Structure 1
Amino acid sequence: MSQKLNLRWWGAMGLCVALSAVAQEQPGDFQSRVPLSLSGEGPWYRLELALAVQLRASQTDLRDIRVFNAAGEPQAYALARQQAQATEQRSLSAVKWFPLYNAAQAGDTPATVRVQSGTNGTLVEVQPEARPQAGQAVLRGWLLDASAIKAPLQQLILDWSSEHDGFQRFSIEASDDLQHWQAWGEGQVARLSFADERVEQHEVALPGQSARYLRLLWKTPQTAPALTSAQLQSSTTSSQPSPLVWSQPLVGATAKPGEYSWQLPMGLNVERVRIELKQANSLAPARLYGRRESNQPWQPLGNGLLYRLTQNGQDVQQNELQLPGQVVQQLRLVVDERGGGLGAEAPPLAFAVRGAQLVFLARGTGPYTLALGNPGVSAANLPLSTLIPDYSPQRLKELGQARIEDAGQLAAPAGVAVATPVAPGRDWKKVGLWAVLLLGVLALGGMAFSLLRKPQAGS
């Protein structure tokens, strides 16, 4: 009896394992599949998801997108909406420098100077208010004129006469009016010689703030060198939004004169629309509305003047409207027909959204396949910081690249952006498999309970 029970136990367990394996997602469970080609260094690869690819998904948030290897095993992946791109531009500027003298008995007291400047604020002359007598003047430091630099200062680069070797330590102060000074810390440069070796350090980091003037005061005035060159490195940082990806033109419908509507394939964060103006000399003040579902009220998204005019033999047009980026699936354009309108038929409309990337960890052997289009699956993406332990925006740029080998397999039919996605429904195949799995577990529990209740032989 015990041996038969063991056989039933292992048979039930084998059934559970087999059903679990069958229930795992397979490439054939997805409506669209396309091979990927890899380049660069792995094991992580990033794939730019074109809009045509995104619209093949059955879920707005792309939860039904997957990557499989040659054995049909799903790969760990993360989704990354493209962020704004920050660019930094650095420039190096030579600046004027003026000596600051003190009387020998003045000690560490900063020199008091009389300044003559030009109309643009550039220094012309810097002289001490009370000129020390001959032989009593001590070089206390240097005044740098940075008034021509409008960007934040990042680095100071100095050069000095060769007779002053060793370390040069000084304090750094900044001012915009030569009256009020703010401490910017301390700096150190060096020029060392040993045997035939020479070590030089000319750069000093600055706090990345703007200032018209810098004052360098040596810790020990007797060692202050004569400068031969002074340069300041500045930088400007600008944030550029990530590029937009545009759809193919959508065919619209006319509800009544001057009112047109379009149905998007799914709810999308639309940021811009482009309306095709077919007729020359068209002028149309317009308002754009949007909504998620047909039973919801229309919400205003933006307004503007659409036109296509011929001036001096050239075609000039403004056919785009900016949107706030909220999720919409239906758009309606209401045109003031006093400007002539846009015609009886709805003009084609293209929409733009921000790009997205898929990053996956290549496991197993290729070729790898991108699959999407399954309304019944749940989200399986990981955070980027989990997928890539040492993740950083710079690290993301250095990853290998994946590309869709044949983009034509995902191309939209002529005249429309994409086919309407399948509405979410119940995956009866998976439900049936899990039901059988549950029945197997219940049968296994029943056998164990029966074994516990049966009296032992000879008891």
Structure 2
Amino acid sequence: MSQKLNLGWLGAVALGVALTANAQEKPADFTTQVPLSVSGEGPWYRLELPLNVQLNARQTDLSDVRVFNAAGEPQAYALVRASAQSSEQRVLSDVKWFPLYSAADSTERAPGVRVQSTANGTLVEVQPSSQLEAGEEVLRGWLLDASAIKAPLQQLILDWTSDRDGFQRFSIEASDDLQHWQSWGDGQVARLTFADERVEQREVSLPGQTARYLRLLWSSPQSAPALTSAQVESVSARNVPQPLVWSQPLAGSSVKAGEYTWQLPMGLNVERVQVELSQPNSLAPAIVSGRRESSLPWQALSTGLLYRLTQNGQDVMQNELQLPGQTVQQLKLVVDERGGGLGAQAPTIRFAVRSTQLVFLARGIGPYTLALGSATAKAANLPLSTLIPDYNAAKWAALGKASVEGAAVLSTTSTVTAAATTDTNWKKFGLWAVLLLSVLFLAAMAFSLLRKPPVKP
């Protein structure tokens, strides 16, 4: 009898193992499958998730993302989603500024200067390379000394004398030796009188790189205003944040004048939003709010000035607002109608989120498939340090690359998904029934043995 009990328990264990194996996730359990191509040296491969693919997920935290090999076996993986706020320290520093003069009729793009600095690179004096008579010189821009700041430069904040209201547009260049300059794009600040109120835009975004010196050269108008303050915000981060990725244009709706709403495909940590300004000479102080679902109250996220104006025959535009990166699925824009508003039709917007990278350990034979889209899948990602033993920056740089093949996203049809789900459910029910019957059978045998009188010798 003992042998029969052992066989019964072994059968129950075998059924449990079979149930677990049968319940293992397969690509068909997910609504979207995307073929991947790999290059470089494995066995680890790094994939930057395209935003249009990521939006097929059913869960905000991407718990329903998987990678399978050709045999349909899941691969071990990690998600890398370092946010800008997770490991950074922001510091606002005052910097010295020095005027850059050139002759009024000069054709040189940048004024020639002579500089005097200390041994550690701090600027003491900046003078024009040639003597200029009074009335011949034009203030073309400013040289900022950021040599005392060692962290990446994130934002520039300027203030200037009130006699130069309006828009100020300038180029931004960076250097470590005052000889070789790298373009950091264009900057734009503004000071306007609007409905008896003064509206200012004094902040300019920087690319988050280090530099000892910044050179600002005015282009519209050609002469620069007199600065009264110059500050640089730097960011010290243990982990460099992932770059931003932008969505396709998203249409919205308007229920009343000056108020527009948009529904995002899923909850996302939105960090920036661009508003389409289709009409020239648009001016709109704006407030952006967000929420995760319709039952929650709106929460103010950002304020700013949106404008598209024609100046000196060119369009001057500010259509981007920075958000704190909170998870939202609905956005609302409220504009001050005294500036003319943005029209009755809701403008389209584009939103930006931090790029998400997926690293997987290739096991088995390819090709490999990215699968996502399940409301019930549980998180299965590992910490990066667990997935890659002795992980360091050098290993990250040496990882193989994976990419989505073409632009196609292969989605299983609802009929196939439903059939697969139904088939899986029937199999699960059958296995559970067999398992329960086995347990009941074993319990009955044990009960009968307990009731049987002992055999007399």
- TM bucket normalised to smaller: 0.5 to 0.7
Name the structure 2 match of 1:444. 438
Distance 1:72 1:45, change over 3 A: same
Name the structure 1 match of 2:171. none
Letter in 1 for 2:341: G
Distance in 1 separating the partners of 2:296 and 2:7 = 60
Distance in 1 separating the partners of 2:403 and 2:13 = 42
What secondary structure does 1:450 align onto?
helix
Name the structure 2 match of 1:313. 313
Q: What CA deviation, in whole Å up to 9, does each residue of 1:140-183 have, x standing for no partner?
A: xxxxx656695699xxxxxxxxxxxxxxxxxxxxxxxxxxxxxx
1:144-223 mapped onto 2 (5 Å cutoff): none
Letter in 2 for 1:292: R
C-alpha deviation, 1:10, in angstroms: 5.9
Distance in 1 separating the partners of 2:55 and 2:359 = 18
| Contact 2:34-2:408 at 8 Å conserved across structures | no
C-alpha deviation, 1:20, in angstroms: 2.4
Distance in 2 separating the partners of 1:306 and 1:237 = 26
| Contact 1:46-1:360 at 8 Å conserved across structures | yes
Larger radius of gyration: 1
How many aligned residue pairs are there?
A: 309
Q: What CA deviation, in whole Å up to 9, does each residue of 1:252-296 have, x standing for no partner?
A: 001101111000111111110001111111111111111111111
Name the structure 2 match of 1:347. 347
1:114-153 mapped onto 2 (5 Å cutoff): none
Distance in 2 separating the partners of 1:120 and 1:360 = 53
1:293-442 mapped onto 2 (5 Å cutoff): 293-409=293-409, 434-442=428-436
Distance in 1 separating the partners of 2:406 and 2:361 = 22
Distance 1:252 1:410, change over 3 A: farther
Distance 1:11 1:52, change over 3 A: same
Q: What CA deviation, in whole Å up to 9, does each residue of 1:191-232 have, x standing for no partner?
A: xxxxxxxxxxxxxxxxxxxxxxxxxxxxxxxxxxxxxxxxxx
Distance in 1 separating the partners of 2:311 and 2:326 = 36
| Contact 2:53-2:409 at 8 Å conserved across structures | no
| Contact 2:276-2:349 at 8 Å conserved across structures | yes
Letter in 1 for 2:252: G
Distance 1:281 1:152, change over 3 A: closer
Name the structure 2 match of 1:50. 50
Distance in 1 separating the partners of 2:339 and 2:373 = 44
| Contact 1:82-1:357 at 8 Å conserved across structures | no
C-alpha deviation, 1:394, in angstroms: 3.3
Q: What CA deviation, in whole Å up to 9, does each residue of 1:306-341 have, x standing for no partner?
A: 111111221121101111111111111111111111
Distance 1:283 1:428, change over 3 A: same
Q: Is 1:66 matched up with 2:66?
A: yes
Distance in 2 separating the partners of 1:308 and 1:300 = 24
What secondary structure does 2:62 align onto?
coil
| Contact 1:258-1:335 at 8 Å conserved across structures | yes
C-alpha deviation, 1:450, in angstroms: 3.0
Runs of 5+ in structure 2 lacking a partner? 89-114, 124-146, 151-233, 412-420
Distance 1:392 1:32, change over 3 A: same
Identity among equivalent positions (%) equals: 62
| Contact 1:37-1:367 at 8 Å conserved across structures | yes
C-alpha deviation, 1:403, in angstroms: 0.6
TM-score, length-scaled by structure 1: 0.60
| Contact 1:53-1:410 at 8 Å conserved across structures | no
Distance 1:456 1:13, change over 3 A: farther
Distance 1:7 1:254, change over 3 A: same
Cα RMSD, aligned residues only: 3.3
C-alpha deviation, 1:438, in angstroms: 4.0
Q: What CA deviation, in whole Å up to 9, does each residue of 1:81-117 have, x standing for no partner?
A: 146699xxxxxxxxxxxxxxxxxxxxxxxxxxxxxxx
Q: Is 1:25 matched up with 2:19?
A: no
Q: What CA deviation, in whole Å up to 9, does each residue of 1:423-446 have, x standing for no partner?
A: xxxx77766655544443332233
C-alpha deviation, 1:448, in angstroms: 2.5
TM-score, length-scaled by structure 2: 0.61
| Contact 1:253-1:346 at 8 Å conserved across structures | yes
Distance in 1 separating the partners of 2:426 and 2:11 = 20
Distance 1:148 1:273, change over 3 A: closer
Distance in 2 separating the partners of 1:10 and 1:292 = 50
Runs of 5+ in structure 1 lacking a partner? 87-118, 123-144, 154-235, 412-426
Distance in 2 separating the partners of 1:337 and 1:247 = 28
Letter in 2 for 1:314: Q
Distance in 2 separating the partners of 1:274 and 1:68 = 36
